[in-house]
Structure 1
Amino acid sequence: MSFLSFTVTTRSRASLTALREVGSSLKARSYAAQAKGGSVKQNVQGYKGGKNQKLTKKQQRLEAMRNNKSPGVRLRPTPPSQLKHELFQSQRLDELMLPDFNAEELTERNLGKAMAFPLPENDAVRVFGVPRNVLLDFRILSKAASVVRDVTIKLVDRLQAASQESSQKNRFVLSGSVGSGKSFLLIQGVEYAASAGWLVMYIPRAINLVNSSTPYSYDLRTQTYLQPLFAQRTLQRFRTVNENTLSSLVAEEKIDLHDGLSLSQGTPLISLIDVGIKDQTFAPTVLAALLEALGKQTKVPVLLAVDDFQALFTKTAYKTPHFQTIRAWHLSMPRLIIDYASGRKTFARGAVVGALSLSDKTYGLSQELRHALGLQPWLQPSSYLKVAPEITAFTKGIQILKVPEKLNVNEAASLFEVWNKNKSFHTPGSDEVFLAKYTESAGNPRDFVWKGLLSTLQT
């Protein structure tokens, strides 16, 4: 044996001996830890990066969770009964004696005053929902409320006239700058109609009709793409909101549905709705038949309100089997709404009201729709832009109701009072704070609240 091989063999034997000694030591420590009731893994040292380390804090927490042991003291919220400081004594809006928002109170004597939405279980806003920006306001406030503006009275006057006229004469769209309050105004119109005994169908987020968020299938009979799930949900919500009024309405003519199913004359409209709710495949046909039946009756006015109205005239996220983009009017739900907005189908008594949203850039207001509605007649679409003839045909006769770009001082003061008494400010409310925030936002309703009043909470 050479000297080199003898040296390697000796070192190898020495290494094996050292490893046996380390193993015996670790085993002894493990037994000692078990004898004391401790965790084996917490006492074993591992090899990492060439240095011996104990278990990290994260590993200790995981080990404690496995052994059902708490790694430390858990923080629990203080009971409300112990919060005695005046900072925590938030005054709720139901203690502010705000009048309820209803048809009888919407007069000029209440112009510029704040009103609270009652929101019972079958309320249209509660059941159908609201746009996302309005939902954030309602979540922060202890009770949903709004201010009666001058444009609110104008909308109410138009709806009062429409209650005795055909929807052919009452098709209009709310237009205005970003944050001017179009969605809030549309909600006020919905709440007014519901409190006045109208039948209300409210679509708060029409973008969901075109963003491929629900299933669809092609129908050879109508040559459109059906959206059965959305139609079924709309029927459910419409029944919940208008159940009391629908109980007295019946079909004035025989209603033929597909696959040989038909309902005889005199069938209650609630029974028609139940057909679409129970069977999703019938929902699109039932919804179209329901609106047609409501259009023929003259007992109760009907309101069809749609937010994100511009989304009904855009290219959708839906695709054909050949991966071609589907236009909105080739989908069953947008096409049904467009038929009534364009006047091709009407209600004997009622109105169709839409609101243009400028927040979403994907489904925003296009140049051709802007020109077709006459919002900027001097701004012609580009010569290189192909304008769909359907946009011009479907928007013919639609009137525009302009929403003011800013609140007047009285309207802003009422809005300021609501948020102030809701304890939404970091600093005490005062005339100086009000005038400063009103000036900073230039009176824009959304900026006045979110960039003005609520910015006082930022540090």
Structure 2
Amino acid sequence: MSRSICSRCLSQQIPSPRLFPIPFAQAAAFSTTPSHSAAAKKKVVTKPGARQGTTLRLSKNKREAGGRPPAPGERKASRKKISLGNPNALEVQGLQDLTTDYASSAKLAEVEGRVLGLQEQSVEALKALEAFKHTQGWRYFRKPATLVRRETVDLAKAMEEAEESAEGAKRWVLCGEQGSGKSVLQLQAMVLAQQRGWVVVHLPDAQDIAIGHSSYVPSGDGKTYIQPHYTAALLSRIAAANQEVLSKLELSQTHDLPIPVQSNISLSRFAELGARDPEIAWPIYRALMSELTTPSATRPPLLFTMDAIDHIMRPSGYLDGDAKPLHSHDLAIVSHYLSFLNGSSPLPNGGMISASTTASNRPKSPTLSHVLATHTKPQQWDPHHGYTTSQTSTWDPYAPFDQRVADSLAGVEVKEIKGLSKEEAKGVMEFYALSGMLRGEVTERLVGEKWTLSGGGVFGELERGSVGMRV
């Protein structure tokens, strides 16, 4: 009886289901469904950890405070610093100097193709004239030395002719490709002129005159413009380089000067007065040049040179009163130099006027290029007269023609400086070897190889290929 359970009684013991089911959230003990509650916190996303390993961290380039700023002109002086010696180079045994014994063309012809050293006196004068350039290879060798080439002998012959008579005065324009040796040939002319007792006046870079970086004021004639500070610096160079010659010459004329000057003052002291005061530099410069070009048996010949003449054959960087560009020929110092170059101002005591072009930073001057091409055009065959040089050159009708440039070069003799001969190349390479800057034996094969690679003996390329590549 105890085992028998009534199904009716059993059904009464099971609770009856509710009409409304229990919510799932309350009934379930565990769930993976996300909560939709508004109060639930947002999910936080963690950043990935930093990459392990070493990294290069560069600090910012901060300028140190308290340093002295460069003085005016200090950067330019450092950039154009010229070194005239190399203590690491060997001293060439038996190197002869270019003394007064070699001032004649006959003596120079005997040593053609050899390298001669420059005396200390000549080096100091050339430094005062600013004849050395930082692009030249003086820094490779123990002391400054120069090669006696065929053009050097021709230069000495021309200077001998210029001393004989006033009609023998030479007016040259040196042209050629970059590194051909135009500036060095002018340097040799200054050395020979100094040894002969000439007065040397040198304008080292025409770009400094025409670029527009110097002070300028209108002159009294109202046509030209004076550059007081540049003229004062030029007088300083003239006085320093020609001290020995000018100290023996005295003022012989009466000049209209802004200051009283002693009547028998030496020309060296006279030039120093103008170098100290830019306000009176131009009148003193004109008076000094007038004294040097006065016909007299006691006045020495004059060598007047300019480098990079291309920069004065075009408009300058200066402006006139109407804010229009000034032509370079309107600058007083340029006009004065060109009067000697074209022959309008004679040299009664003899001398030479020399100008050289530049190929490294040459500005555009169609008229100058036309004149140089006309004078250096190759010879042509004429069945009646043999080989003749044509004096005509094709002119570009679309290029502007500058008559003032053409007139300034009237009657000049254009000298094209070409490469060295193989004999001259051998002589300079032997000097490189004796200086320890070229290792190995200088053979005919090596000379021929370097001569060919330098474009037919272009001096600058030969030096760069023989010495510059090693340094």
Q: So what's the TM-score if we normalise by structure 1?
A: 0.74
Letter aligned with residue 186 of structure 1: Q
* Cα distance between partner residues in 2 of 1:402 and 1:359: 13
Deviations 1:338-375 (A, max 9, x none): 11112222332232332432414443563345427733
Cα contact 1:412–1:438 (8 A) shared by 2:
yes
Letter aligned with residue 115 of structure 1: L
Question: In the alignment, what sits opposite 2:412?
Answer: 398
Deviations 1:209-249 (A, max 9, x none): 11223222222435212111111111111111111211111
Letter aligned with residue 114 of structure 1: V
Question: In the alignment, what sits opposite 1:284?
Answer: 282
Question: In the alignment, what sits opposite 1:298?
Answer: 297
- 1:137 deviates by 0.7
* Cα distance between partner residues in 1 of 2:229 and 2:277: 10
Letter aligned with residue 267 of structure 1: I
Same amino acid, percent of matched pairs:
18
- 1:122 deviates by 6.9
Cα contact 2:225–2:332 (8 A) shared by 1:
yes
- 1:402 deviates by 3.8
Question: In the alignment, what sits opposite 2:249?
Answer: 249
* Cα distance between partner residues in 2 of 1:342 and 1:324: 27
Alignment of 1:103-182 (within 5 A): 103-106=100-103, 107=107, 108-120=109-121, 123-130=124-131, 132=133, 135-166=135-166, 169-182=169-182
Letter aligned with residue 248 of structure 1: K
CA RMSD, Structure 1 to Structure 2 (Å) = 3.6
**Residue aligned with 1:457, SS:** coil
Letter aligned with residue 406 of structure 2: T
Letter aligned with residue 412 of structure 2: I
- 1:399 deviates by 1.9
**Residue aligned with 1:352, SS:** strand
Letter aligned with residue 401 of structure 2: V
Question: In the alignment, what sits opposite 1:43?
Answer: none
Cα contact 1:369–1:391 (8 A) shared by 2:
no
- 1:324 deviates by 1.9
Question: In the alignment, what sits opposite 2:429?
Answer: 416
Q: Which structure has the highest helix share of the two?
A: 1
* Cα distance between partner residues in 2 of 1:222 and 1:265: 30
CA 1:331/1:123 → structure 2, altered by over 3 Å: closer, same or farther? same
* Number of residue pairs matched by the alignment: 391
CA 1:114/1:362 → structure 2, altered by over 3 Å: closer, same or farther? closer
* Cα distance between partner residues in 2 of 1:207 and 1:167: 31
Moved more, 374-383 or 406-415: 374-383
Alignment of 1:53-452 (within 5 A): 90-93=88-91, 95-106=92-103, 107=107, 108-120=109-121, 123-130=124-131, 132=133, 135-166=135-166, 169-257=169-257, 259=258, 261=259, 263=261, 265-296=263-294, 297-299=296-298, 300-363=300-363, 366-368=366-368, 370-371=370-371, 374-376=375-377, 377-403=391-417, 405-425=418-438, 427-431=439-443, 432-441=445-454, 442-450=456-464, 452=465
Question: In the alignment, what sits opposite 1:453?
Answer: 466
- 1:406 deviates by 1.9
Deviations 1:253-283 (A, max 9, x none): 10112x4x35465332233213212211111
Deviations 1:133-190 (A, max 9, x none): 6x43112223211111111111011112212332773222223344322211111111
CA 1:5/1:318 → structure 2, altered by over 3 Å: closer, same or farther? farther
CA 1:5/1:121 → structure 2, altered by over 3 Å: closer, same or farther? farther
CA 1:391/1:59 → structure 2, altered by over 3 Å: closer, same or farther? closer
Letter aligned with residue 451 of structure 2: Y
CA 1:368/1:409 → structure 2, altered by over 3 Å: closer, same or farther? closer
Moved more, 437-446 or 116-125: 116-125
Deviations 1:279-327 (A, max 9, x none): 1111122112211111114322221122223333222222234332211
**Residue aligned with 2:293, SS:** helix
Moved more, 232-241 or 160-169: 160-169
* Cα distance between partner residues in 2 of 1:314 and 1:409: 38
CA 1:340/1:58 → structure 2, altered by over 3 Å: closer, same or farther? same
